[in-house]
Amino acid sequence: MEFSSKGYNSGNYSSARPSYPSEFFDTLRKYHVGGEKLLVDVGCGPGNFTLDIARNFQFERVEGADKSPIMIEVAQQKFNAAKMKNLHFSVHAAEDLDWVQAGTADMITAAQCSHWLDFKAFQESAFRALSENGTLAIWGYVDPILTDFPGLDSLLLEFQYDLHQLGPYWEKPGRDILRDLLQSQIIDDTKFQDVLEVCNRVRDPEPKASDHKPLIINREMSIIEFEQYIESWSAYNAWKRANQGKSDIRKSFIHQLKTQTGLSSQSRINVAWNTVYKFARKRT
């Protein structure tokens, strides 16, 4: 997987990616009725979100785990420095939570990684590790949209998915699962109950009215920051490795974007993502 490859810049990942808004953590906090002893964040990457949740909740212990040793190394360095005693990181696959004592995890989160997982194995493992009333929370975001420039929607989609651009470099089926907002990842109702599932498509002409707040991910950034965000994509990193010596596909995309809009490197743009979240409670 690209996130585990040596050339992947996991330091850039932390600064280039959007963060999750505090309103979303409020929604998750309201949903959660279990204890607050242990939270396990699988696929934690460089640990930024794990730190956010440690700050937004009152869990006695927070464990971030990722199967990429490179990601965990970055997370450990950063958070050793932050000296948060209740936060730990380790290398583990999400499908194998045997290192968590059965029935002790009050919440298990999988942020922007569930599409990579063997979802059946993950659910089984999570079910075993969760405590009574424990919450399973998964969410993700995909397909950035420059909200003020609808004319660029097709350019962005072509850059990401055209066969001659980044299209072949996304790992499958993960990318397709995420683009479909995790619709194929069905929560097993023999193991979980009170399932809450909310999708948000930025350009949806007729969004369904819902009692539940969607996960809104927006970020204002400069064009330079948008380029750095593209640098954090697994597909762009895979393209770079396969096309050494060729002129940078990201630069030509940004050039086209600037030509079509008249924007400069310093111009600020509003970027929004399609999102999904699914919360479920361990069946008792």
Ligand X SMILES: C[S@@+](CC[C@H](N)C(=O)[O-])C[C@H]1O[C@@H](n2cnc3c(N)ncnc32)[C@H](O)[C@@H]1O
Q: Residues in the site for ligand X, rule: CB under 6 A?
A: 1, 3-4, 17, 42-45, 49, 66-68, 71, 93-95, 111-113, 116-117
Beta bridge partners of 272: 145, 218
**Residue 111 or 187 with smaller CB distance to ligand X:** 111
C-beta of residue 234 within 8 angstroms of C-beta of residue 184:
no
| Cα–Cα distance for residue pair 100/14, rounded to 1 Å | 26
Distance of closest approach, residue 40 Cβ to ligand X, in angstroms: 11
Structure tokens at 211: 């009692």
Query: Whole-number minimum distance, CB 108 to ligand X, in Å?
Result: 12
Q: Which two tokens stand for residue 177?
A: 């699962």
Q: In angstroms, give the least distance from the CB of 178 to ligand X.
A: 9
Name, in order, each residue with C-beta under 8 angstroms of 195's C-beta and a sequence gap of 6 or more. Answer: 187, 189, 278, 279, 280
Do 128 and 104 touch, CB atoms closer than 8 A? no
Rounded least distance, CB 281 to ligand X, Å: 21
The pairing of beta strand 87-91 with beta strand 105-111: unpaired
Q: Give the nearer residue to ligand X in terms of CB position, either 68 or 185.
A: 68
Please report how close the Cβ of residue 2 comes to ligand X at its closest, in angstroms. Answer: 9
Nearer Cβ to ligand X, position 12 or 133? 12
Which of 191, 160, 163 is closest to 178 using CA atoms?
Answer: 160
**Taking the complex as a whole, how short is the minimal distance between the CB of residue 246 and ligand X, in angstroms?**
25
Q: Which is nearer to ligand X, 68 or 135 (CB)?
A: 68
For ligand X, give the closer residue by CB, 36 or 95: 95
Asked whether the beta carbons of 281 and 33 are under 8 A apart, the reply is yes
Nearer to ligand X, 112 or 275 (CB): 112
**Which residue number is nearest to ligand X in terms of Cβ?**
45
**Which H or E run includes 274?**
strand 268-282
Instruction: Answer for the pair 71, 44: CB distance below 8 angstroms, yes or no.
Output: yes
